[in-house]
Structure 1
Amino acid sequence: MTRRTWMWAAAVTTAFALVGCDTHVNGNATAVASVTPFKHTAQTTKQEAVSVINDRPLAFVGKPGITSTSATSIAVPVFTGAGVGHAAVNGQIIVTRNGGSTWAKAGTIDGQVQSLAFTNASDGVALTRSAQPVAPAVDARQRVTDAIYRTTDGGRHWARTWTVTRVMGESMLAQDWQVKLFAQSGYALVDGYLLHTVDGGATWRQMETPGQPIAFSAPKASELWLSTTTAPVTADGEVNKGVIELLHSTDGGAHWSVAVRTAPMRAWEAAVQFDPNAENYGLFLVKDLDSWTTTAYWTLNGGKAWKHAQPNAYMGRILQSEPTFTKSAGELAFVALDPGAAPFPGGLTAFNMHSGVISQVAQLPDWREARLTSGPKGSMFAAVSLTNGGMDLYRSSDGGKTWNVVYPADEPNVAVQFVTPNEGIGIGSDDLAGYIYTTDDGGHSWRTVRIMNGMFPTAIAYANASTVYVAAVEQVNNGQGQLHLLVSHDGGKTWTDLGASQLPASASKQLSVANVQTALAVSGDHFALTLVTAYPSVTLQSPNGIDWTQIATESSPLGIATAAYENPGTLWSSSVEQLQRPTKLQPGVYQTTLTWTSESHVERHVSLPKGYAALGMDWSGENGWVLAARSPFEVNQGMALFVTHDGGRTWSHWQTRSEDESVPQPLNLYPSGAVYGLSFVNLADGYLLTANGLLATTDGGHTWRYVN
């Protein structure tokens, strides 16, 4: 579910910032913030110094659950019948009993699970990888431990049955991690090792192969198709030029014959798959790292004869996933496009095994890398690395045209707002749609009450206990976005779209689904909205939520900003400046200036103590909470919560210890920096939305505990 993680923030900056300093009073460390009233007059206003008292430590308690942002490895599902299937996210094994619609936790394994295989609902194996940098970390070398684990109780408990540890560099060759079980016999490919078991995964032995294995497909226990290179990858990850061969064995790997042989190349990938429903169909995709040319080889008669072509759809600096066949697709093989860091959109293609023609099934711009597999009743699943970080497990029931996230479970990933300690609204989005959620148990569970295809929510504002608004950006054909406000008069159960908003040209030309953040406030017929884009921010007001008038435009020096409204006429915003650039020897130093704007007039500037970048903010009347980090890029360096109950005249200051690993990660890092969603209901109860999940406080922000 990181889905597209919209950042809930805004910025109205000023022409100058006053820098705070650190002093000591009676031997105790006291941070000092500076406050300057500003009335747009020619007179010089007096600067006020406000002490910020370090009351108690700031603490984050509990173990976070897995969210789409914190997911770094997903093993695609393996189904064994009657709707039962197993998958893995990081080291968490999950199980479904309804064909993949919903998933529950089963057990955990050390390391990141790369691939799973089950022969029935109880017996299975898992391939895992753990890696640690090798000091000094100058050449990206890592100490890598690959392992195989076995379970006999449906994934609840696991025993390690094979392992190897090596020091190695990162390689461009897309070598596969894959395991396949047939009752007692099975095969595993672990980063160049081809292994065989004859006792259901209890023991493994390495098989001898002609060349270094890259990928394999096993249509049945005795039959193997194996892609290899004659030029093994070096220990530092260098890919050398060699011949790529597709080998075939009908006796479990005892003997091999060459089915396809290429000219020498530096291989980027050599993925092979045979259709388990029609074993005569096979597709072999080979990518040349130097020319970025993909050659497709395919057979309709079990490998007796092969056709080949170089499809335009697979050319360029973009990989193709391992092909996947489904029962309902007939002669089609599905192949995902994996752009990685390349500036191309991800998507899904269909390769026609009879004609060799490739058609686009869906364009999926947030898919950076995907691994596909088939599921029950013609469904497909995809383990997807997302362009803005994190991973999700997707499911399609219509041949890949549309996809829905099935794990991690749907929950907010953009913003939350609570109206009572238990009741609140959350918003989230993925690459295809936006979502509105409600909760009545303090965020322990969320109900999806609105799905908006092609529309992505960015902010929430309560007008009263029952009336709540959501701002959303609709994706239109020309790449620009169209602002919408949705309203609910029953606490979020049902929603009405007020229609496309009429924005000034200066605002509408900057609005797109790729670069907008918003802060929203509503009271009666007074609507206020601040848009932060890659360009200067725009502050707007409206009498009806449709017709908007621009009242201010400002910029943030570093582009990292947060904002919150006291009410529709009063805005607190932050601007972050980098005073010292980070180096290898010392971290960067940041300065945050808070600006209080009333009816478009800047009234006050408040500089937080030197060394903090504000990443989240909430206000309710004169009560304000500002969450800030020593570094917006490495929040573990130190986090602080600044709290005021008198409109910013005096502040309390609670901070974590340096290098505190319990600090949750921000929602994302672009387009203009990390951000946290902060929502206080009263002086004691509040919520914090992070990349690690939702946290709650009942003591005003001193201690935060994970909700799930």
Structure 2
Amino acid sequence: MKTLRIAALAAGVLLSTVQLSPAQAVSTTNGGGHAPSYGWELKPTGSESRFRGLAAVSKDVAWVGGSAGQVLRTTDGGSSWENVSPPGAEALQFRDVEAFDAKRAVILAIGPGEDSRVYRTVDGGKSWTETFRNTEPTAFYDCLDFNDNRHGLALSDPVDGKFRIAATSDGGKSWQLQPTAGMPAALPGEFAFAASGTCLVAGPGRTAWFATGGGDRPRVFRTSDGGRTWKVADSPMASGAAAGIFSLAFRGPLLGVAVGGDFLQPDAADRAASVTYDGGRTWQLVPADKAPKGYRSGSAFVPGTLATVAAVGPSGSDVSLDGGRSWTQFYSGSFDSVECAGHGLKAACWASGAAGAVGRLAVTR
């Protein structure tokens, strides 16, 4: 059952995450002497929650959501954090946060049946409105994303043999279940991983992709019509009960990166990354000697670059300067999620994870 797999995910990486030492950020250069150096500037939150939900808005503004129903927000670059958790949500796990600015955000609670919910705020978390509650006992929502300020999609594991999509066209105020006639059938045992809020990512226009695992092979689904119809492609990455694609990142409509692996083997890099140059129609495996140095649960393209990607997981963080074809580890601590946003001097990448850990990427050129 998916619930048992989520429990195993939490337990399977516990040994590695408890080793996180927030005072021990490490950065190294990638490539020659003129290559930039990357490191995490850690931003203590004072929380013990595990923050898998993360939204980067700028170098100053970020939101995190996690266990025990906790949601935090910073507007000063992580120097201070405000607890903006929805009241009465202590039993929920917030695994995805999508924020449009310092005031407006949408958060997803994951779990079977009515544990899967969506909340929305327009006043910086002073108040929240529950805008969606799943009533299908066999559904389990994993992640959501927005194409723009109005249009977004939320993904559930298969119901009656097909993945389920809920869509919004009003910024998350309301959600509508999409017909499944245009959704390919799921494989036996196939599901999505609620590990970092990036199992589904939205692209330009009405494009979106979501990634899977759990079956005999991982797959990537793609839509160009806002989630009404989908096409699917096989991936050469690892798959199994605890393995598959955990995170997708796209730079525009064509260049994409997938990372994952087996969460029960956090230090293994076997078939842990792949790349696409045709919008997810085909995927090329990254060889183990060039892949991230272990299972990775989150990924994001770095703003202001053409092809720089960061990936994070319980055994470290890696960077690729060539669109995901080769990776170099630059941090040995644990994070679950990474998100990037902003433009120019306001751009930033943030990471979050266990024991309240949050970091902002520091780049030295």
Paired residues for 1:586-605 under 5 Å: 590=269, 594-599=273-278, 600-602=281-283, 605=286
SS in 2 for 1:457: strand
User: Which of residues 254, 258, 263 in structure 2 aligns to 1:573?
Assistant: 258
2:101 aligned with 1:420, yes or no? Answer: yes
Give 1:593 shift: 5.6
Q: Is the 8 A contact 2:155 2:165 kept in 1?
A: yes
Residues 493/5 of structure 1: CA separation in 2 closer, same or farther (3 Å cut): farther
Q: Is the 8 A contact 2:40 2:362 kept in 1?
A: yes
- Code of the residue aligned with 1:533 in structure 2: it is G
Partner of 1:546: 228
Give 1:528 shift: 3.2
Give 1:483 shift: 2.0
- Code of the residue aligned with 1:595 in structure 2: it is S
Distance 1:50 1:508 in 2: 47
Q: Is the 8 A contact 1:449 1:494 kept in 2?
A: yes
Instruction: Give a deviation string over 1:241-299, Cα, whole Å, max 9, x none.
Output: xxxxxxxxxxxxxxxxxxxxxxxxxxxxxxxxxxxxxxxxxxxxxxxxxxxxxxxxxxx
Instruction: Give a deviation string over 1:73-92, Cα, whole Å, max 9, x none.
Output: xxxxxxxxxxxxxxxxxxx9
Partner of 1:616: 298
Instruction: Give a deviation string over 1:641-699, Cα, whole Å, max 9, x none.
Output: 5375x74589886425xxx6xx56xxxxxxxxxxx23322226345545354584x6xx
Structure 2: stretches of 5+ with no match in the other structure? 8-26, 53-67, 71-86
TM-score (norm 2): 0.60
User: What value does the CA root-mean-square deviation take over the aligned residues?
Assistant: 4.8
Give 1:588 shift: 5.3
Q: Which has the higher contact order (CA 8 A, sep 6+)?
A: 2
Paired residues for 1:520-669 under 5 Å: 520-544=201-225, 545-556=227-238, 559=243, 561=245, 562-574=247-259, 576=261, 590=269, 594-599=273-278, 600-602=281-283, 605=286, 611-619=293-301, 622=306, 624-629=308-313, 632=314, 635=315, 639-640=316-317, 642=319, 644=321, 647=323, 654-655=330-331, 663=334
Partner of 2:119: 437
Give 1:450 shift: 0.9
Residues 440/451 of structure 1: CA separation in 2 closer, same or farther (3 Å cut): same
Distance 1:503 1:463 in 2: 20
2:350 aligned with 1:690, yes or no? Answer: no
Residues 464/471 of structure 1: CA separation in 2 closer, same or farther (3 Å cut): same
Q: Is the 8 A contact 2:97 2:106 kept in 1?
A: yes
Q: Is the 8 A contact 1:436 1:451 kept in 2?
A: yes
TM-score (norm 1): 0.34
- Code of the residue aligned with 1:498 in structure 2: it is Q
Instruction: Give a deviation string over 1:109-140, Cα, whole Å, max 9, x none.
Output: xxxxxxxxxxxxxxxxxxxxxxxxxxxxxxxx
Distance 2:255 2:33 in 1: 21
Q: Is the 8 A contact 2:291 2:327 kept in 1?
A: no
Q: Is the 8 A contact 1:419 1:462 kept in 2?
A: no
Task: Name whichever structure is richer in helix by fraction.
Answer: 2
Paired residues for 1:93-492 under 5 Å: 406=88, 408=90, 410=92, 412=94, 414-433=95-114, 434-440=116-122, 447-454=129-136, 455-473=139-157, 475-476=159-160, 480=161, 482-492=162-172
Give 1:468 shift: 1.5
Residues 438/52 of structure 1: CA separation in 2 closer, same or farther (3 Å cut): farther
2:55 aligned with 1:61, yes or no? Answer: no
- Code of the residue aligned with 1:681 in structure 2: it is A
Task: Name whichever structure is richer in strand by fraction.
Answer: 1
- Code of the residue aligned with 2:174 in structure 1: it is T
Greater radius of gyration (CA): 1
SS in 1 for 2:97: strand
Distance 1:31 1:589 in 2: 23
Give 1:431 shift: 3.3
Give 1:457 shift: 1.7
Calculate percent identity across the aligned residue pairs: 13
Structure 1: stretches of 5+ with no match in the other structure? 8-28, 34-48, 70-91, 93-101, 104-404, 665-675, 704-708
SS in 2 for 1:430: strand
Q: Is the 8 A contact 1:485 1:497 kept in 2?
A: yes
Distance 2:193 2:284 in 1: 32
Residues 448/52 of structure 1: CA separation in 2 closer, same or farther (3 Å cut): farther
Give 1:451 shift: 0.6
Residues 50/459 of structure 1: CA separation in 2 closer, same or farther (3 Å cut): farther
